[in-house]
Amino acid sequence: MLVSTSRWAAVLPDLSPWRSGRDFRLLFYQGTITFFGSFMAMIALPLQIKHMTDSPLAVGAMGAVELVPLVVCGLYGGALADAVDRRRLILLTEAGLGVLALVLLVNALLPDPLLWPLYVVAAGVSALTGLQRPALDSLMARIVPHDQLAAAAALGGLRYQFGAIAGPALAGLVVAFAGYASAYAVTVTGFLVSVLLCVRLAPAPPVKDAERPSLRGIAEGARYAWGRPVLLGTYAVDLAAMLFAFPNAILPFLADELDAVWALGLMYAAGAVGSLVLGLTSGWVSRVRRHGLLVVCGAAVWGLAIAAAGWFTTVWPVLLCLAVAGAGDMLSGLGRSTIWNQTIPEGLRGRLAGIEVLSYSVGPQLGQVRAGAMAGWTGTRTAFWSGGLACVASVAVLAALLPKLISYDAHTDEDALNQRAAREAEAGAGPRTAAA
């Protein structure tokens, strides 16, 4: 029995972060609810645009509309997260996202819903997400012990995947049987509950003598990242993978070609299922030291699986490919998140998290535009397989150009050792004060 229990413990997720911090548990609940509601809207919104326009380019144009607000607000949000109380920033932006979801609901209830508010809300959501995510991401390293960061990343992935599975799967049913307004109503309710949970988070004040948000501060964070090949590699690999192989905008058209409109919700959820399976068997992640290898291998698996999805002509193999792609994305994400939290100094976490937002958000936005445009020009399945192969090729080139990403070792990397020492010194000094 002891041997069997030990084997299960080596595979099942490490729950140490859950047991060690109340704020981690609150963020887990908040994130689960927010992701569920957000994915309801994330699926309903492109479906509504497709219903109103029947154009792949119109759906893909969402990425273009969201791009500039995300870039500007992501960078500024990173500087802001280093200068203000992160809990307050998270709370205000979460409330703003709830208001935008309410706009979608009101528009859907109109006798003749308007198209332009859908793009305006998409841009607004992108802006608020850019402001919020650096504060959320940089908060994790403060509330979780250094040696539990990989486990925290795995648990964080699980909460995301729950929303990514349940949200799309239910969104398709809700839209089909109850309409777009019902899907948006679920989103509004989710944000209301999320705001109430955020209120209970402990204050997260900035470090002593924190700089006011400025272009100089943003540039300082960019210089730090540029001078670290490991960090630079994590950003570049993820950006390339999403740019060339992010297919969500054209999934409705693939479902049409496969004569499987009924499976659209499953297509949106399949990647999250693969990620969830990997997350539920992620106990081994806590023992990994070479997180750069996870980043590269996971991105390569993602690209190959997306390419394969474009080669099949029946829906079930496509769903399997999308699930494998999701597992690869989860693997790469675990590596990126762990490297970021292990190596970035506290005083720069917000600004570097802003750059992180760009690396894992701008890529999908541009990827939607690329996928929609290529599907319109060459066909849906060609857009899949060509993008997947381009992803694999670009990841291979980046790995060759940035060998330090592959050789990263959490037990020997200088930045990781420095941050471990800083966390241990902080723990020895007692609880963080507001002034610190």
For residue 152, how many other CB atoms are within 10 A of its CB? 27
Distance CA(262)–CA(281), nearest Å, equals 30
Question: What is residue 132's predicted lDDT score, i.e. its pLDDT?
Answer: 92
Could you identify the residue written with the tokens 């060509």?
Answer: 386
Looking at residue 381, its amino acid is: R
For residue 1, how many other CB atoms are within 10 A of its CB? 5
* pLDDT beneath 70: ranges in the chain: 1-12, 164, 210, 360, 423-424, 426-436
Looking at residue 161, its amino acid is: Q
pLDDT tens digits for 269-293?
788 889 888 888 877 777 888 899 9
CA 24 to chain centre: 17
Q: Rounded to the nearest 10 degrees, how much is the dihedral formed by the CA atoms of 398, 400, 404, 410?
A: 80
Question: What is residue 15's predicted lDDT score, i.e. its pLDDT?
Answer: 79
Distance CA(83)–CA(105), nearest Å, equals 34
pLDDT tens digits for 288-315?
888 999 999 999 999 999 999 989 989 9
For residue 336, how many other CB atoms are within 10 A of its CB? 26
Question: What is residue 8's predicted lDDT score, i.e. its pLDDT?
Answer: 55
Question: What is residue 317's predicted lDDT score, i.e. its pLDDT?
Answer: 94
CA 395 to chain centre: 19
Distance CA(230)–CA(412), nearest Å, equals 13
What is the 3-class SS of the chain, one letter each residue?
Answer: CHHHHHHHHHHCCCCHHHHHCHHHHHHHHHHHHHHHHHHHHHHHHHHHHHHHHCCHHHHHHHHHHHHHHHHHHHHHHHHHHCCCCHHHHHHHHHHHHHHHHHHHHHHHHCCCCCCHHHHHHHHHHHHHHHHHHHHHHHHHHHHCCHHHHHHHHHHHHHHHHHHHHHHHHHHHHHHHHHCHHHHHHHHHHHHHHHHHHHHCCCCCCCCCCCCCCCHHHHHHHHHHHHCCHHHHHHHHHHHHHHHHHCCHHHHHHHHHHCCCHHHHHHHHHHHHHHHHHHHHCHHHHHHCCCHHHHHHHHHHHHHHHHHHHCCCCCHHHHHHHHHHHHHHHHHHHHHHHHHHHHHCCHHHHHHHHHHHHHHHHHHHHHHHHHHHHHHHHHCHHHHHHHHHHHHHHHHHHHHHHCHHHHHCCCCCCHHHHHHHHHHHHHHHCCCCCCCC
Distance CA(264)–CA(320), nearest Å, equals 14
Sign of CA dihedral 24, 155, 3, 410: negative
| Nearest by Cα to 415 from 339, 332, 333, 337 | 339
Distance CA(339)–CA(228), nearest Å, equals 11
Question: What is residue 433's predicted lDDT score, i.e. its pLDDT?
Answer: 36
